[in-house]
């Protein structure tokens, strides 16, 4: 009998990669959930409504073992908050709720992500490409914080390793990390994008000051050894992963 996985946020950047990866695996039966972008393939469930959540868990007959990355604070007025914000939770507090609400729960932390986007503004990585393409306009790109851009489908693959391990061993709990291993600043990402498409780079200017906005460490490296011990391996090189993502935005 196929194992079942309920994927929340399946209309979003990360969730759509999860849905694609698990749907392509005959061992898994999937149900993708969404909210404003629900439709034929995605069931509408408001995650801020406990009754709707309980109903879908009951109907789809899944155990609630979470693989989950906390929440996204609204960094500036107008940013769309994520469901846990309804409960006034920060990312770290959201993780605490998940790990403490049941001893079997799991948190997966991930860094800056990119993947198949509906528009360039959907990810902090693809967003850079709009400025890269605009060669007539100087574009300052942060060249201070060390980031590790990670392809969503690699995260989905790692999650499949994680949940398969969790199904075999109920002892597997707590906090895990998964990340690409290429250290790049946003400036490095922008120059790589330009070079991939033969776009001149003179307008791309390295900004060596710490970024303003959401505070983050100088080096955002995550220790992925727990996931590597389980057998997670897929780390697509940035040049290979980003090219098909951007191709449809560069005629
Ligand atoms: N993107 C990154 O670089 C990155 C990096 C680290 C961690 N993360 C974390 O990964 C998670 C997913 O990120 P993402 O970039 O994939 O986000 P996203 O593209 O903004 O997707 C968010 C998803 O949440 C759904 N959603 C929002 N409010 C909802 C509600 N009330 N009820 C049900 N569903 C609701 C949205 O559904 P509709 O669109 O259908 O309304 C959408 O599918 C977040 O927790 C984020 O903090 C992301």
Q: Has residue 7 been placed in a domain?
A: no
CATH for 240: 3.40.50.720
The two tokens of residue 202 are 């003179």
Q: Which residue has the higher pLDDT, 215 or 43?
A: 43
pLDDT higher than 80, residue 70: no
Where is average pLDDT lowest: 99-113, 184-198, 200-214? Answer: 99-113
Q: Read off the pLDDT band of 2 (50, 70, 90).
A: confident
Is residue 73 scored above 60 in pLDDT? no
State the distance from the centre of ligand 1 to the C-alpha of 9, rounded, in angstroms.
Answer: 5
pLDDT, position 215 = 77
Which one-letter DSSP state was computed for residue 184? Answer: B
Q: Name the residue with the closest Cα to ligand 1, atom 45.
A: 71
Whether 115 is in the pocket of ligand 1, judged by its Cβ within 6 Å, is: no
Residue 120 lies in a domain: yes
From the list 146, 139, 148, 247, the residue with the least C-alpha distance to 201 is 139
Q: Is residue 38 part of a domain?
A: no
Per-residue model confidence as pLDDT tens digits over 148-205:
999 999 999 999 999 999 888 888 888 999 999 999 999 999 999 999 999 999 999 9
Output 167 or 237, whichever has higher pLDDT: 237
* pLDDT level of residue 66 (50, 70, 90 thresholds): low
Work out how many domains the chain is built from and give that number: 1
113 lines ligand 1 (CB under 6 A): yes
The residues, any chain, with a CB within 8 Å of residue 149's CB and separated by 6 or more, are 111, 112, 113, 114, 125, 180, 182, 184, 189, 238, 242
* Residue 50 domain-assigned (yes or no): no
Q: Is 42 in the pocket of ligand 1 (CB under 6 A)?
A: no
Q: How far is the CA of 67 from the centre of ligand 1 (A)?
A: 14
Q: Does residue 201 lie in a domain region?
A: yes
| Residue 5 belongs to some domain of the structure | no
Would you put residue 198 in left (φ > 0), alpha (ψ -120 to 50) or beta?
A: left
168 lies in a domain? Answer: yes
Q: Is 172 inside a domain boundary?
A: yes
Average pLDDT over residues 27-38: 95
Residue 98 Cβ < 6 Å to ligand 1: no
When pLDDT is cut at 50, 70 and 90, the band that residue 83 belongs to is low
């Amino acid at each position: 009998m196929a194992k079942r996985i309920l994927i929340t946020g399946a209309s979003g950047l990360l969730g759509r990669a999860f849905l694609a990866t698990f749907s392509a695996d005959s061992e898994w039966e999937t149900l993708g959930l969404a909210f404003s972008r629900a439709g034929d393939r995605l069931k509408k469930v408001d995650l801020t409504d406990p009754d709707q959540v309980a109903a879908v868990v009951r109907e789809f007959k899944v155990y609630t073992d979470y693989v989950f990355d906390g929440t996204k604070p609204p960094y500036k007025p107008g940013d769309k908050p994520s469901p846990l914000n309804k409960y006034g939770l920060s990312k770290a507090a959201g993780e605490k709720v998940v790990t403490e609400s049941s001893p079997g729960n799991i948190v997966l932390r991930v860094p800056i992500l990119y993947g198949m986007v509906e528009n360039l503004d959907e990810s902090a990585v693809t967003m850079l490409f709009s400025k890269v393409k605009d060669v007539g306009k100087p574009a300052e790109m942060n060249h201070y914080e060390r980031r590790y851009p990670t392809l969503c489908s690699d995260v989905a693959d790692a999650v499949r390793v994680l949940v398969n391990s969790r199904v075999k061993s109920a002892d597997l709990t707590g906090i895990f990390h998964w990340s690409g291993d290429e250290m790049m600043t946003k400036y490095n990402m922008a120059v790589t994008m330009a070079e991939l498409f033969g776009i001149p780079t003179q307008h791309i200017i390295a900004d060596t000051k710490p970024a303003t906005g959401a505070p983050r460490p100088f080096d955002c490296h995550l220790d992925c050894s727990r996931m590597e011990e389980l057998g997670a391996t897929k780390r697509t090189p940035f040049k290979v992963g980003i090219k098909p993502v951007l191709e449809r935005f560069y005629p």
